[in-house]
Structure 1
Amino acid sequence: MNNPETYDYIVVGGGSAGCLLAARLSEDAGTSVLLIEAGPRDLNPWLHVPSGFFKTINNPRYDWRYETEPEPALNNRRIAWPRGRVLGGSSAINGLIYIRGHADDFNDWAQRGNSGWGWADVLPAFRAVESQARGASEFHGAGGGLGVEDPAVGLELVTRFIEAGRQAGLPLNDDFNGAGQEGVGRFQLTTKHGRRSSSARSFLAAAARRQNLKILTGVEAEQLKLEGSRVTGIRCRRHDKVLHLRCRREIVLTAGTIGSTQILQLSGIGDPERLEAVGITPTHALPGVGRHLQDHLQSRLVLRLNRPISLNSLTRGPSRKLLIGLDYLLRRKGVLSFGASLAGGFARTRLSPDRPDVQFHFQPLSLDSYDGGLHPFPGATISACQLRPESEGTIFVVSPDPAVRPEIRANYLATERDRLTMVEGFRWTRRIASAPALAEMVAEEYRPGPAVESDDEILDYIRTTGSSIYHPSGTCRMGPDPDRGDVVDSRLRVHGLAGIRVADCSIMPRLISGNTNAAAIMIGERAAQFIREDMAASIGGAVPTTTPSSHGIGRFA
């Protein structure tokens, strides 16, 4: 790289999609790639311990700690939205649950005019990035970097939950990412040999030694530079120093649903009227930027147990904690190898007879918040979330100052269908809790309690206590028509502009049916494929396949 401030590709955001994309683009030894990340490197050991999210979520060093504006349908509460602010992004602090979504989610994307995004198109990308501990199969890959394992757990309480789900009418399902999604079973986790398999560890660690890849941490992206209708660079800030970075080919925004949206709007790309109202000069009219926001809302059923078999009891006291630490250090097993939920399921309500529209997460513990610690009594939690909400919100900047956080309005429970589905999902959790395998372990329903019974009472409980499950998406929606609110085309290029793409959960045309991390990584893989194919087509050559040598000095800076 003759000019260290000019690169062929600049990837903005070292999260789930960005780490993979930078690694893939740098496989062409003749291409210079820069990855910038606002947060620090992932050096804290807790970022690599699966259950370390208890230490990193809400930690301002690694978590942006966003929150919504007061949500009208949730009793005007502000809802917490943790997002990763570290190399690896949210994949470094999330609950590690590996769910791809339902096959029809992606077929729906394709039917909305997004060719190349049907299930048959994205399955090879999912398989390509996966290192499945069970081995390769029709649905899984074993040669990728993303570790996917079964949890190393033998808790009686988890086994009882699964049996209770079966007794409540759900089929057993040992692979939610296989032939079908419906049923109850154990979740697989994004771990490898008992360690968190974040996107940084899975894809970037090996690529970081390449001489054509540079990784800058602690760099806040502020504004894209446009020359006519082409994006040619980006202004950033690092340690109070302004950096002007130029790009010969493309900049790819992988800063997440909030970050990518904010960067576009700060650059004057969005709804002209909204931008002018906050003092930003419009540069490219694209009204859909910041609209069509969707997220998964969850409601929790908390059980007080009659035996000390939950993590509330099994982790209490210094001697137990010492043994837990030793178990993980020596065998990479035990409590510290757990994800946020060890088991769960997918069920249909009467509003969705064709495929599941509710997901359950089972936790063999209970708490009020991550900050407050576990309850002093043995407890367990079953949460339910609506998978495909109709409600849509917005993310809009409120100032031209990049340091001012955007306004997030999730607009939860805005439609009758969403309200009915959440109530039915909650009733499903009670059905499972009252099944014999689990009921004999329950002393009482701690929250909300038996006094909450009617649909209106349940809905009021959801309004009072419901929370995000941290899956924001859709604000840079993919689709063929910018006049209807689409922001990027089916190859993730921003409509009407050259040299700029978006590749993260913000491009989802509709929120998928499940946890979003696996899909975010798949989006990064598809973006790499599109970029290489488009570059090859422009020069009349073949798609680069040569991987450069990994020998040499590291490229972190």
Structure 2
Amino acid sequence: MARLLSILAAIVAVTGPVCLAYPREVPASKVFLNGRQVDTEYDYIIVGGGTAGLTVADRLTEDGTTTVLVIEIGKLSNSAAITTVTGGFSGMSNPSLLFGIQSVPQRNLRNRTVAVQIGKVVGGSSAVNAMMTVRPAAEDFDIWGSFFGPNSHWSWQGLLPYFKRALNFVPPDEAVTKSANITYDTSYWGTTSGVYAGWPSFQYPSTTAQMEAFRGLPGVPFVQDSGSGQPGVYWYPTFMDPKKVERSYARTGHHDQAATRPNYHLATESKVRRIVLDGTKAAGVAFVPASAGSTATETVLSGIGPRQLLSSANIDTVVDLPGVGQNFQDHPIIQATFQYSRFNIRPNPTDLFANATFRAWSEAAWAANRSGPNSIATGNAAAWLPFPVISSRADEIASALEAQNHANYLEPNTDPTVAAGYRAQMLAYASALRSNGSAFYNLVLTGGSSNGILVDLHPLSRGTVNIDTSDPYNRPPRVDYRALANPLDSVVMAELVRFTRKYHLENPLTRDWAATELSPGRSVQTDQQFADYFARTLSPTEFHPVGTCAMMPRELGGVVDEELRVYGVEGLRVVDGSIMSTLVGGNTCQTVYAVAEKAADLIRYGAPKIVE
């Protein structure tokens, strides 16, 4: 999951004199509540102490002299909901760690509203996500660079060194590796980061069986390591410190070590009101305690964004940047549930509830040395498959996508540059639909006696995240997923469900499990029937919001350039998931870490540079 704000995305680096004063001095390391004691000048201010913000702050302050202030609206929390590994979702059950935002009613989902779950805590969404350490396919990153031309440094090869820097890979236990048939290749990973990619000390044999069952379907690739950039069926690690058996996230991996440096400051529970501009140069940041309302002296926001939107909120436009808040994307979740009546592979997760002996053993193992089934977060095995592998309609659907009048599926009166960028994305996706290099299908394997959560990895519809013009200071942003705005989304998703039916019902390696389809049900067959089903049941979010400050050329609706600098503004960068022009085919957290590592080099050296 990525941080998300209304006018600018979550992480903003400001260079040059900041706030109100001088001279610059190296301060003592401090964490400030509400920012009441911050210094008046820093080399950099970072808005948002989340996944990317804490990574960039750590790297920029490594030299001991560069001064950095991080401003975070959330608390510095030691809640057990964050550290707990078991189940992986404890953080999402604690409302104090999340923004309480609801989407606008979704027109194509029968006017349902949807919770927008984003981490509101030091560490951001890395503190509350499902801990799935998934690296998307290489082709996803090559698409980013393609919008700038063949020589872009945003590519798989341009990001792989930063994926390696971002995480400290610890191989799984040898006994578990052997019993579960886990494969990995350490050449795709690093060992120096404070953020760990670890493994539980136990795997259910039922999970291995569900993985191996994909061999019963033709053409399904199996991948040795999840970090290779190849789509397929594979094991992947967890954001977990394997020694402590606790969540490893941006606070533990970056903030906690940077906090000892005298040149690093963090202001918590603080809300940024605006970027202070000197003409079109970012000169500082105005912020207040998070609980504060608007003040008479703060009458305008920064004035960077779509002119029409800003004018409707009585905000003077400083830089007309139509792409801000547009191009919003998230992974839709599809309900496709299959229940096995003869799944006799033991033990499996069902035994934690149905078998008192197994449950007692599991609890004893955890109490003794934090091992056993309770060390599993949300699983470590999944299928991430290319569209031609799952559907014979790949060329048909790709051709239909190419033939669309793409602007018809955006908001009315969308700026022509944003529409041009959307068309460029859809043409890239048409190629990806025909390719074996990009994953469109995701089924996470539970190891249990039912399976049912499918994810569409490359949705075609685009939404918006805009200020509420009635009260842009105090009301949350208007989040509109615009789910199913492009009708081909439901056609693609129907193919995902049809392939899942084959896995469960037409597969010689799953026949003995005696699967029954609970949803959508065998009566749902045609594209139209699927479209009606998705309108009733689809969730437009897997809590992976991206895209609203897209890294694309300005003439394609871009907000930042290849150095992540905001167009038309000097000294302002955006570094977080919002810069993703197209949503990657996997959980976004690992990618955000890599983007932040690369951004730190762009800021420090003016170019990508790995320093060993």
> Into which bin does the TM-score normalised by the smaller protein fall?
0.7 to 0.9
Deviation at 1:180, TM superposition (A): 1.9
CA contact (8 A) 2:329 2:547 kept: yes
| Aligned position for 1:449 | 521
Asked if the contact 2:203/2:373 (under 8 Å) is kept, the reply is no
How far apart, CA to CA, are the structure 1 residues paired with 2:196 and 2:88?
17
Q: How big is each residue's C-alpha offset from its partner over 1:173-195, in whole Å with a ceiling of 9 and x where there is no partner?
A: 242221522x2232322212132
Matches within 5 A, 1:541-552: none
What is the alpha-carbon distance in structure 2 between the residues aligned to residue 236 and residue 319 of structure 1? Answer: 55
CA contact (8 A) 1:49 1:196 kept: yes
Decide which moves more: 486-495 or 316-325.
Answer: 316-325
Indicate the residue corresponding to 2:409 in structure 1: none
Aligned-partner residue type, residue 451 of structure 2: T
The alpha carbon displacement at 1:243 in A equals 12
Q: How does 1:107-146 map to 2 (within 5 A)?
A: 107-113=142-148, 115-134=152-171, 137-146=186-195
* 1:214 corresponds to which of 258, 265, 269: 265
What SS does the aligned partner of 2:282 have? strand
Give me the whole-angstrom Cα distance separating, in 1, the residues matched to 2:558 and 2:229: 31
Q: Residue 291 of structure 1 aligns to a residue in which SS?
A: coil
The one-letter code matched in structure 2 to 1:386 is D
Q: Deviations over 1:250-281 (max 9, x none)?
A: xxxxxxxxxxxxxxx94221011111112322
* Shift in alpha-carbon separation, 1:5–1:513, aligned structure 2, 3 A: same
Please state whether the residue corresponding to 2:97 is helix, strand or coil: coil
Q: Give 2:3's aligned residue.
A: none
Distance 2:445 2:42 in 1: 46
After superposing the two structures, state which structure 1 stretch, 395-404 or 493-502, moved more. Answer: 395-404
Q: What residue in structure 2 maps to residue 8 of structure 1?
A: 43
Any idea what the Cα deviations from partners look like across 1:130-153, whole Å, max 9, x if unmatched? 211239844221222221124433
The corresponding residue for 1:475 is 548
* Residue of structure 1 in register with 2:537 after alignment: 465
Mean Cα displacement is larger for which, 74-83 or 499-508? 74-83
Q: 2:370 aligns with which of 332, 335, 360?
A: 332
For 1:284-336, what per-residue CA distance to the aligned partner results, in whole angstroms no more than 9, with x for missing partners? 21111001111111212223333586535514699876754543343333343
Of the three residues 210, 220, 227, the one matched with 1:177 is 227
Give SS of 1:231's match: strand
CA distance in 2, matches of 1:398, 1:317: 52
Gap change, CA 1:89 and 1:336, over 3 Å in 2:
farther
Counterpart amino acid of 2:259?
A
**Given residue 427 of structure 1, which amino acid in structure 2 is its aligned partner?**
R
Give the TM-score of the pair, scaled to structure 1.
Answer: 0.84
Q: Tell me which of 545, 548, 563 is aligned to 1:491.
A: 563
Distance 2:267 2:294 in 1: 11
Q: Does 1:343 align with 2:381?
A: yes
Q: Which residue of 1 aligns with 2:455?
A: 385
**What is the CA–CA distance in structure 2 between the aligned matches of 1:321 and 1:166, rounded to whole Å?**
31
In the alignment, what sits opposite 1:55? 90
Q: Contact 1:26–1:207 (CA<8 Å) still a contact in 2?
A: yes
1:287 partner SS: coil
Tell me if structure 2 keeps the 8 A contact 1:287–1:485. yes
Letter in 2 for 1:353: R
Give the whole-Å Cα distance in 2 for the aligned partners of 1:504 and 1:156: 37
Instruction: Give the superposition deviation at 1:155.
Output: 1.3
Identity of aligned residues (%): 29
1:523 maps to 2:523: no
Distance 1:124 1:545 in 2: 10
| Paired position in structure 1 for 2:328 | 293
Give, in angstroms, the shift of residue 127 of structure 1.
0.8
Structure 2 unaligned spans of 5+: 1-24, 28-37, 172-183, 388-392, 395-432
Question: 1:370 matched to which residue of 2?
Answer: none
Partner of 1:199: 250
Over aligned residue pairs, what C-alpha RMSD do you find?
2.8
Q: Is the 8 A contact 1:472 1:506 kept in 2?
A: yes
Q: Unaligned stretches of 5+ in structure 1?
A: 245-264, 366-377, 538-542, 547-557
Q: Give the paired residue count.
A: 505
| Cα contact 1:382–1:429 (8 A) shared by 2 | no
Do 1:275 and 1:281's aligned partners in 2 also have CA atoms closer than 8 Å?
yes
Structure showing the higher strand proportion among its residues: 1
The match for 2:19 is none
Partner of 2:75: 40
User: 1:413 offset after TM fit, Å?
Assistant: 2.1
In 2: Cα distance, 1:492 partner to 1:274 partner: 23
Output the amino acid matched with 1:503.
V
1:406 corresponds in structure 2 to 477
Q: Compared with structure 1, are the counterparts of its residues 318 and 241 closer, same or farther at alpha carbon in structure 2 (3 Å cutoff)?
A: farther
1:283 to 308, 318, 328: 318
Shift of 1:64: 1.1
Q: Distance in 2 between matches of 1:405 and 1:179?
A: 37
